[in-house]
Amino acid sequence: MSGTLSPRAGLLGAEEDFASIGRAVAGAPARARSRAWWIAFAGACGLLGVFAAALAWLLLNGVGIWHNNNPVVWALDIVAYDWWIGIACGALLTSAILRLAGAAWRSGIDRIAETTAVLAAAAAALYPIIHLGRPWVFYWTLPYPNTLALWPQFRSPLVWDAIDIVSFLGVCLGLWYVGLLPDFAVLRDRAFEAARAEGRAADEGSGRRRRRTMLRAQIYGILALGWRGAATHWERWVLATRTLSALAIVLVVALQTGASVMLAGTVLPGWHDTLLPVTFLAASLLSGVGVTAALAVLVRRALHLEALITERHLDLMARLMLGLGLVSAYCYGTEIFSSLLHGDAFDRSVLVRRLAGPHAWAFWLIVVFALLPVQLFWRAALRRSGLVVALVGIAAAIGSFGDHFMLLIVTLSHDFLPSSAHSYSTGVWGIATLLGSVGLFLALLLLGLRTLPMVSITETRRFAESHADGRASGERAPTAAETDDAPLWGVSAEFAQAGDLAAAVEALKDRDLGARIETYGPVPMARVARALGHPAGILPLLALGAALAGGLAFMAMCLYASGIDYVFDVGGRPRFSWQSFMVPSVSFGTLCGGLATVLALLFQNRLPRLNHPAFAIPGFARASEDRFFLALEATGPRFDPARIEGALARLPQGRPLMVRRVPL
């Protein structure tokens, strides 16, 4: 098939084909049902219990249990929020860039990176809510009509956080779910086939197993939304994933640099640095790639997916961590030399406190965990060691936590006046809340290992060769006696290769057969789509228009609220200071673009549709596994199944394995 990547490239086992990839990924959740999984899940639930206790104590006593003080009003809660959102941004940005760049090795890690982003964002989303002190009124931070006639303060970073996290979750979940749609269809078809096999079994207990399998098949069927793998589905799916990836890049850059530009725009020593946005972005990328690499090693070992997540994937992730570690080291070194060479006394005092003050452990945490371990990857043998890659990835995430702690706590605890200095000590309840968020992340991850395909079946198949056995699928074709008197939906032909299907379409597309041609397969079929003349669509333009409209509308609302309807002057700022509203406007615009992309994909593909005549094609379940189907749907009185069958039998190349009549 076109676009095939040889297994010798090291990204796929030499014996893997479409069917074996589907079996390996779809069967992986069953391999997670082990004693080790239950022990890990029990530990994660224990951390969730700690979080519940910390939250209950917070509601009883207020946010002071985190040892916040004046001037350290942003303490361990905001440190943890920035850390989690940094991991989420780094993981999402990695997946989005690899997808847009067309990197072949994304096949093994893109689903893991997107899952990391979703789970880390879910953990981060807790903090802006519980930081309010009264989390049951979290919706006060959102612009909604209320009886008090008040607007949120759109210049407040707390409102920015609320808009940012909602937008991030919307775009990230959209990309994650759209990518899962074809895989859900694979799981649906495999579950239905397993239920049929169990229904034919006569052993005791098969009835209960069949009911459980059917329930699982129905759940996956609902999640798949009627995905059939039509050529038009695939073309729009590719467009949608690339569009969502582009929106994700804009959102991540705006979110990370927006917060850092806000800090750099202050006069506080330690923050007033134009390099801070770059440092923020590099640190978040390093932590996100590190956690993704660690989880890739976990998925590879726990689910026995060594043939799909190969040593080549680990080597490339290690190289990426090495490069990001060097960029981070450059940023930290530049900041230190800048403060020493042309910084004032206040800048140098902040640098001294970072290196040797009461919280100097945060700086050395960065050095020991984030900057030094990645240097191990100069050796090729260590880049291919799963244990080393996982440990260095976790260390990078720990070092990133030290970076956020140093940036916030050390800077806020001492500004210009000695009389304003107030030391900060981490409290047990702050640590308990952090551990609870880690428990949430781990619990959701472990549940995902049991229920979801952690490696993208579709992306992996796109770079695999299909080694077809050349035989038709097992279900018999309807006989003439069954179809003579029954109204026909159409005629189907089954092919072993996408190239054979494309040749058949090219030979039949200009013939007047009284039928509409549609094709179905387990991977995108670019040549088939070109042969059918299906336009690429305007989905990216719809997303761009929705993003611009949403961003401008949000900016207009902020200007109206802050400059006309509810004027609340803060710090002598101008009434119409549009610069203050750029970050939430961009975030909301990307959310609108993401929602428009998902809705346009579903509308253009006529989804959800839980039933379709194509599902009645004998053996159609293999359209999500390793077979390609050509369907000629009856459209008028000129439809003649015998003539179509004859045309299929006389194809100059790409002969079908089986031709079937499909009744309504």
DSSP code per residue over 50-67: HHHHHHHHHHHH-GGGGT
What local confidence, expressed as pLDDT, does residue 4 receive? 42
Q: Give the residue-averaged pLDDT of 612-641.
A: 89
DSSP 617: S
Q: Which of 19-28, 131-140, 196-205, 474-483 is least confident?
A: 474-483
Question: Which has the higher per-residue pLDDT, 82 or 573?
Answer: 82
Q: For residue 576, how far is the Cα from the chain centroid?
A: 36
pLDDT of residue 512: 85
- Cα dist. 328→65, 269, 282, 607, 633 in Å? 33, 20, 6, 45, 58
Averaged over 298-317, what is the pLDDT?
92
Give the tens place of pLDDT for each residue, 25-35: 988 877 777 78
Is the pLDDT confidence value at 616 over 50?
Answer: yes
Distances (CA, A) of 41 to 46, 101, 300, 486: 8, 36, 18, 54
CB 430 within 8 A of CB 67: yes
Segment 376-402 shows an average pLDDT of 96
Q: What is the pLDDT of residue 472?
A: 60
- Per-residue pLDDT averaged across 612-626, rounded? 89
The CA R_g of the chain, rounded to the nearest whole Å, is 28
Tens of pLDDT, residue by residue over 577-588, are 888 888 899 999
Q: Is the pLDDT of residue 243 over 90?
A: yes
Q: Which of 285, 312, 283, 280 is nearest to 296 (CA)?
A: 312
Residue 376 is predicted with a pLDDT of: 96
pLDDT at 467 over 60: no
pLDDT value of position 475: 58
Instruction: Provide DSSP, 392-409.
Output: HHHHHHHHHHHHHHIIII
Does the structure show a pLDDT above 70 at 203?
no
Task: Quote the percentage of the chain above a pLDDT of 70.
Answer: 93
- So what's the pLDDT on residue 476? 59
Task: Name the residue among 597, 601, 600, 603 with its Cα closest to residue 547.
Answer: 597
**Is the pLDDT at 481 greater than 60, yes or no?**
no
Residue partners of 494: CB distance under 8 A and separation at least 6: 472, 473, 619, 622, 627, 628, 629, 656, 657, 658, 659, 660
Whose tokens are 């003579």? That residue is 484
Least confident of 47-61, 203-217, 462-476, 606-620: 462-476
- In this predicted structure, what is the pLDDT of residue 495? 92
Nearest Cα to 80, choosing from 441, 337, 411? 441
Task: Tell me which of 593 and 208 has the higher pLDDT.
Answer: 593
Mean pLDDT of the region 410-423 = 77
Average pLDDT over residues 340-354: 85
> What pLDDT is attached to residue 483?
61
What's at 590, amino acid-wise? Answer: T
Segment 289-317 shows an average pLDDT of 93
Task: Pick from 14-23, 181-190, 260-269, 455-464 the range whose average pLDDT is largest.
Answer: 181-190
Question: What average pLDDT does range 291-311 have in this prediction?
Answer: 93
Q: Which residue has tokens 């919280």?
A: 359
Query: Do residues 295 and 320 touch, judged by C-beta distance below 8 A?
Result: no
Provide the 3-class DSSP secondary structure of residue 258: helix
Q: By C-alpha distance, which of 526, 454, 478, 488 is closest to 634?
A: 488
Is the model's pTM score more than 0.75? yes
Helix (H, G, I), strand (E, B) or coil at 472: coil
| Mean pLDDT, range 507-526, rounded to an integer | 89
pLDDT of residue 8: 44
Statement: residue 322 has pLDDT above 70: yes
pLDDT, averaged across the chain: 87
Positive or negative torsion for Cα 354, 355, 356, 362: positive
Mean pLDDT of the region 355-375: 93
pLDDT, position 68:
85
What pLDDT is attached to residue 470? 53
Cα distance between residue 643 and residue 635, in whole Å:
15
Pair 100, 119: CB distance under 8 Å: no
In Å, how far are 320, 475, 616, 619, 623 from 478, measured between CA atoms? Answer: 54, 9, 11, 11, 18
Please confirm whether the linkage preceding 608 is cis (ω < 30° from 0): yes
Range in 125-134, 305-314, 562-571, 607-616 with the lowest mean pLDDT: 562-571
pLDDT of residue 103 exceeding 90, the answer is no
Higher pLDDT: 113 or 129? It is 113
